[in-house]
Structure 1
Amino acid sequence: MGIITLTTDLGSKDHYVASVKGRIYSLESDVKIVDITNEIPPFDINQACFTLENAFPHFPEGSVHIIGVHPSAYDNVRHLACLYKGHYFIGADNGIFSLLFRDKPDKIHQIESNTDSGEPNFEIRDIFSVAAVHLASAGNIEDLGERGLILTERARLNPIVNSDVIKGHVIYIDSYENAITNITREMFEATVGQRDFEIFANPTCSFRTVQRQYNEVPVGEKVALFGTNGKLEIGINQFNHEHHGGASSLLGIKIKDVVRIEIT
């Protein structure tokens, strides 16, 4: 039996996640359910994309990933199942797929629902879960509905690069309050080379060195480094959230803030 993952904005306080899992187990008790996260900020498909794109490659091929963020099918938003790099993805065609997939998916199928009773739907439980169990049980994606060809496009925030400046943005703040940018190691090395540089996170926070690990600076000091996902991040070594705070709060860095690298 296969693996079904959950990436949702349902939170952990209410009954919503439990009802989704209960529905899945009622359909197939042997399936394995993994919570990637249920703490995506409400309706934030950019944060859902970042989290899922950094998690799904570590799962075995054939895994089924439910994306339960802004899933409503009202306003003609389709529900889709996609096959991409050997993984299945189920969610609303609200732009999340165009952000998540760097290439065209191998297959796209619209999920035909049998829940048109006139009652409000809990799409993640009533539609996505049923489709996910079908796929996790080795069912064919073609059985879910007619083939689709085009995904709803959502613009990705990409860095701007020229010979002496890289301009990126903070795209994620993690649980340690590290500010993760969309500037990649490959981009940095190809542009900077052996030249000197200075990284500006804001007018009062800059770096002239990129470290390899957090512990290369003293405890409590700010640091810039490339994280395990290959993206430039700004943090504080062994931050103390209760008493002092991390990079986001102490340095005043927020999602969508500009991070600029000047090269000399």
Structure 2
Amino acid sequence: MSLITLTTDFGLKDHFVGAVKGAIYSELSDAVIVDITHHISPFNISETAYVLKNAYKSFPEGSIHIIGVDSELNEETNHIALKLDNHYFICPNNGVISMIASEIRPEKIVEINIHDRIESSFPVLDVFVKVACHLKRGGTLEVIGKEIFDYKIITDIQPIISNNNSKITGSVIYIDNYGNVITNISKKLFEKIGKGREFELLADRYPFKKIHSKYSDIVNFAIPKEDRHLDGARLAIFNSAGYVEIALYRSNLDTVGGASSLLGLRYRDQLTITFKDVDSNS
């Protein structure tokens, strides 16, 4: 069964989410709508891309994903609909799709052209909903737009490789609910560039010599629990999405704070991973 999902920066205080769902139900009374999130930071495309990339794969093939972040139609941003990995995405062409599309090539992309019949200051409601319902009824992409072969790419989603493949410069793309800092450096890229070499990860002024597989890797379970004193200890891990994450072990946001606040790491801040040369004696 295909579903319609919503990912927006609308929040839940205002009428926007309710209006979008109402419009879908008005066209398809038996639709199943799932909220991925409505708490994307306002206009934050990188954050949207990260959340969507790690959520959509859990839905059935054929699902239709409406993305309402920075979606106003203007001279620099058109609207697109695409089929990718047997899912449909309806979104502004502002780079939000580039994190997914960098790994999986879209099967088809169209530039939505039904704006000729609809004037709207709320395109998610007036345009994206109509496209989603058309696709849900079994309609094709060609009916709602002309095929295109390119899409905008956000450059800050891609890390930079330098120093003859000995350095990765990445950036913070997301701060999660625990205050953990997620970067755009994937485990796949780390292993491809690192080739098993020793390294130093530098996040602001904080160095890390190891990247763990899970949070509890830093615990020595042979030590009695009352003697461990690890709460708030900083660590780097490859998170469940396969990206380098800077975290504090069992941090309490109310008393201790998270990695973002305590280490002073914010969205778009840079961090580096420098690999030792295999011939280095240092």
Give TM-score, length-normalised by structure 1.
0.90
- The Cα shift of 1:104 comes to 4.1
CA–CA distance in 2 between the matches of 1:263 and 1:153? Answer: 28
- The Cα shift of 1:31 comes to 1.1
CA–CA distance in 2 between the matches of 1:241 and 1:166? Answer: 30
CA–CA distance in 2 between the matches of 1:5 and 1:24? Answer: 11
Question: Alignment RMSD, CA only?
Answer: 2.1
C-alpha change, 1:147 and 1:215, in structure 2 (3 Å) is: same
CA–CA distance in 1 between the matches of 2:43 and 2:142? Answer: 28
What's the counterpart of residue 8 of structure 2?
Answer: 8
- The Cα shift of 1:138 comes to 1.9
CA–CA distance in 1 between the matches of 2:269 and 2:118? Answer: 45
What's the counterpart of residue 62 of structure 1?
Answer: 62
Counterpart AA for 1:226: F
CA–CA distance in 1 between the matches of 2:118 and 2:171? Answer: 45
Contact 2:118 2:126 in 1 (8 A): no
- The Cα shift of 1:193 comes to 3.9
Contact 2:99 2:157 in 1 (8 A): no
SS in 1 for 2:146: coil
What's the counterpart of residue 241 of structure 2?
Answer: 229
What's the counterpart of residue 36 of structure 2?
Answer: 36
Counterpart AA for 2:166: D
Counterpart AA for 2:171: H
What's the counterpart of residue 209 of structure 2?
Answer: 208
Counterpart AA for 1:174: D
CA–CA distance in 2 between the matches of 1:98 and 1:201? Answer: 25
- The Cα shift of 1:98 comes to 3.8
Contact 2:46 2:157 in 1 (8 A): no
What's the counterpart of residue 123 of structure 1?
Answer: 123
Mean Cα deviation higher: 215-224 or 245-254: 215-224
CA–CA distance in 2 between the matches of 1:192 and 1:77? Answer: 37
SS in 2 for 1:142: helix
C-alpha change, 1:222 and 1:32, in structure 2 (3 Å) is: same
Q: What is the percent sequence identity of the aligned residues? A: 40
- The Cα shift of 1:17 comes to 0.3
What's the counterpart of residue 199 of structure 2?
Answer: 197
CA–CA distance in 2 between the matches of 1:101 and 1:145? Answer: 19
- The Cα shift of 1:78 comes to 2.4
CA–CA distance in 2 between the matches of 1:198 and 1:76? Answer: 40
Contact 1:10 1:39 in 2 (8 A): yes
Tell me, yes or no, if structure 1 residue 257 matches structure 2 residue 258: no
What's the counterpart of residue 82 of structure 1?
Answer: 82
Contact 1:115 1:121 in 2 (8 A): no
What's the counterpart of residue 109 of structure 2?
Answer: 108
Counterpart AA for 2:200: E
Contact 2:234 2:248 in 1 (8 A): yes
SS in 2 for 1:50: helix
C-alpha change, 1:211 and 1:144, in structure 2 (3 Å) is: same
- The Cα shift of 1:115 comes to 7.4
Contact 1:81 1:111 in 2 (8 A): yes
CA–CA distance in 2 between the matches of 1:95 and 1:209? Answer: 32
CA–CA distance in 2 between the matches of 1:166 and 1:91? Answer: 30
- The Cα shift of 1:9 comes to 1.1
User: Could you list the per-position Cα deviations for residues 216-252 of structure 1 after superposition, in whole angstroms to 9, with x for gaps in the alignment?
Assistant: 3322211111011111111011110111111000111
Give TM-score, length-normalised by structure 2.
0.85
Q: Number of aligned pairs? A: 262
Tell me, yes or no, if structure 1 residue 240 matches structure 2 residue 252: yes
CA–CA distance in 2 between the matches of 1:66 and 1:258? Answer: 30
